Homo-oligomer: A and B are copies of this chain.
Amino acid sequence: MSNEEKDREDLPKCRVGGKDPSGSEARPRNWLVPVILLSLRDWNSYGYELMERSTRFGFDAMNPGTLYRTLRQMEKDGIVESSWETSRGGPARRMYSITDAGMTYLDFWAKSLEQYQRTMDTFFRMYTGQPLPSDENEENEKESGEGNSR
């Protein structure tokens, strides 16, 4: 048995977050939306192709149901547009393109993700043991002093 497998078996089976934070847990809700918008900003595309492309953005095994449903919802919201492409062998494709509102929405997502990245940086600074740089020590240690330190 490899070490990684052993680690996994020691991991508590937590109901919070399903089982473990790997895979789907450690990414924001609707992460699929900015990923799709970003893909469509460069090239128009369709569901089946977007499924493969999103694999590069943390979706190890994208499930079709969620993707197609998200695309239809995004069209209702006006951030993407679609039209059938039938001039081709094989099943018809619903080709999607991003709208102006979609571009605006993508920019907004980018700003939010930047903010979240900074928050995660704070998390990792604290995780690796360094004190918070923005924390000016306004008596916090004393207030929380009833706990033992490890």
When all copies of this chain in the complex are counted, the total is 2
A122 pairs with B16, CB closer than 8 A:
no
Interface residues of A in 18-47 (CB under 8 A from B): 20-23, 25-30, 33-35, 38, 41-45
- CB contact between A112 and one of B15, B22, B113 (< 8 Å): that residue: B22
Contact: A105 with B12, CB < 8 Å? yes
User: Which B residues lie within 8 Å of A74 (CB)?
Assistant: 14, 16
Residue of B nearest to A44 (CB): B147
**One of B17, B113, B126, B148 near A38 (C-beta < 8 A):** B126
Residue numbers in B under 8 Å from A132 (CB-CB): 56
Query: Which residues on the B side are within 8 Å of A26 (C-beta)?
Result: 28, 109, 112-113, 115-116
Q: How far is the CB of A90 from chain B (nearest CB, A)?
A: 13
Q: List 18 A-B contacts (CB under 8 A).
A: A12-B102, A14-B77, A16-B73, A17-B29, A21-B112, A22-B111, A22-B112, A26-B28, A27-B28, A34-B123, A43-B148, A56-B132, A57-B119, A58-B116, A85-B146, A110-B127, A113-B124, A114-B124
Query: Are A14's CB and B79's CB within 8 A?
Result: yes
List the B residue with the shortest CB-CB distance to A128. Answer: B110
